[in-house]
A and B are shown apart, each in its own frame.
Chain A
Amino acid sequence: TQLLEQSPQFLSIQEGENLTVYCNSSSVFSSLQWYRQEPGEGPVLLVTVVTGGEVKKLKRLTFQFGDARKDSSLHITAAQPGDTGLYLCAGPASGYALNFGKGTSLLVTP
């Protein structure tokens, strides 16, 4: 199993602050995905990064795939309460499914 380690595990910030969460592995991934999960719901795909060094932006969210394709980061600028949720990274596992990290639980307070 290709392990994905996410940090920090928990993050509590105030509205307007910036933050970065990390997803690291000792294995090379052909792609990595980021999901956001809200309480009582399933994860929702935010982005897929495929190329080493790739940067993708989704409004105030910036995703980066490491040059060696072993790590990824998610940066949120000027966080808002609506950004609250569990952020999960995932990469393809052997056998045509995904391996997930344990997630970063983000709380943004007004």
Chain B
Amino acid sequence: NAGVTQTPKFQVLKTGQSMTLQCAQDMNHEYMSWYRQDPGMGLRLIHYSVGAGITDQGEVPNGYNVSRSTTEDFPLRLLSAAPSQTSVYFCASSYDYRGNGYTFGSGTRLTVV
């Protein structure tokens, strides 16, 4: 099994550009989440989904959009990139709401210049 697959692994954007970070899982997990990780800040929740068609905001949602049209995919869209969005982004999935079986992707390192 591939688990959670994130693409791309690295990306450089110019301020104002938009892009989509892809996340796919093959474990049939209902719960999926996006986090960003910054030095000294830990992992902060951006958006999450409890199933296809259902999403909600996390701690730091501004500047990001998500959708969940299928169980497998949970893309994260940056609408107009800003230098403050320079970070490492992780997608994760789990099979229950307590985070049991939580599996992370290997991350996308994004730099906005």
How many residues of chain B get a CB closer than 8 Å to chain A's CBs?
Answer: 28
- Please determine whether A97 and B45 come into contact, CB atoms closer than 8 angstroms: yes
A44 touches B104 (CB 8 A): yes
Interface contacts (Cβ under 8 Å), in number, total: 65
Within 8 A of B (CB), among A55-110: 88, 90, 92-93, 95-103
| Contact between A98 and B33, CB atoms less than 8 A apart | yes
CB distance from B68 to the nearest CB of A (A): 13
Q: Does A20 contact B (CB under 8 A)?
A: no
CA distance A99 to B60 in the complex (A): 12
A25 CB–B CB distance under 8 Å = no
CB pair B33–A48 under 8 Å, yes or no, is: no
Q: How large is the interface on A (under 10, 10 to 19, 20 to 34, 35 or more residues)?
A: 20 to 34
- Flag B71-113 by CB within 8 Å of A: 1 or 0 each: 0000000000000000000101000011111111111000000
Q: A96-B31, A97-B33 are in contact. Are A88 and B43 (CB under 8 A)?
A: yes
How many angstroms from the CA of A22 to the CA of B4 in the assembled complex? 29
B-to-A contact residues, CB < 8 Å: 4, 31, 33, 35, 40-45, 48, 50, 56, 58-59, 90, 92, 97-107
Q: Which residues from chain A sit less than 8 Å from chain B, CB to CB?
A: 1, 30-31, 33, 40-45, 48, 88, 90, 92-93, 95-103
